[in-house]
Amino acid sequence: MTERQSNILAEIVSLYADSAEPVSSRELAHSFSLSSATIRSEMASLEDAGFIYQPHVSSGRVPTDAGYRHFVNRIVDRPTVPGRSMQTISKRVDSLKDRADGAIKIAAETLSDMTGNMTFATLSDSVYFHGMGQLFSQPEFMDIAQVGQAARFLDAMQVWLATANIDKMQVYIGQENPVARASGLTMIVNRFSSPYSDRSYIGIVGPTRQSYEKVLNLVDGTSKALQEVFSE
């Protein structure tokens, strides 16, 4: 993939995350100050390579799981960028540092509010979930079959978390998911140290259509906030 194609794919990921509408060559031509013909040629190459597809005749394009994976691989190891959202997370978690269950719950709640996803966090043998309503309000879940697949995913998550062994941030996109490959969901999970368990995790579950850079940053920041509280 050329650098320009990679940048076009990144823009498709970003625009589709914001609108949930297939991205047209006209939108991309405007973003890159290129002709529609040039953009269409580059999109055709991306489609032939399996990174984007056309969901309907005469529609724009949306990323495939492979397209999302290429994009995530470019950004996953970038350092967390401090900002107002990170400060909010840290303050809320720190305000409940004397109550482990409270710190976990406020972390999950804040992360859900900031990302628009369902979140989960583990503490000892307990798993906390927050934001299921936000998950099912996403446009992807207007399809009842998609709702059923997501529900089966959530049913299996607690069992998976009890046996998972994750050392660093993991991003599971669609078919990559170890819980339910056909779910059409992304799961991002990170580990943090705590005195309550050898395996303490915080993460999100949402559609594959994500603002990945923002969400990865927030999941990483939340795990660091929890780790800092539990190490005091």
Domains of the chain plus CATH, in order, are 3-75 (1.10.10.10), 84-230 (3.30.450.40)
Neighbouring-strand partners of residue 116: none
The continuous run of DSSP H or E covering 72 comes out as: helix 65-75
Q: Give the start-end residues of each E strand in the chain.
A: 52-53, 62-63, 118-123, 126-130, 170-173, 185-194, 197-207
Say if CB 205 and CB 129 are below 8 A apart. Answer: no
pLDDT tens digits for the chain (232 residues)? 999 999 999 999 999 999 999 999 999 998 898 898 999 999 999 999 999 999 888 789 999 999 999 999 998 877 666 678 888 998 999 888 888 889 999 999 999 999 999 999 988 888 899 998 888 888 988 888 888 888 888 888 888 888 888 888 999 999 998 887 767 899 999 999 888 887 899 999 999 999 999 999 999 999 999 988 888 7
* Residue with tokens 């998550």, as numbered in its chain: 157
The structure tokens listed for 16 are 């589709």
Predicted TM-score of the model (pTM): 0.91
Query: What span, in angstroms and rounded, lies between the C-alpha atoms of 203 and 188?
Result: 5
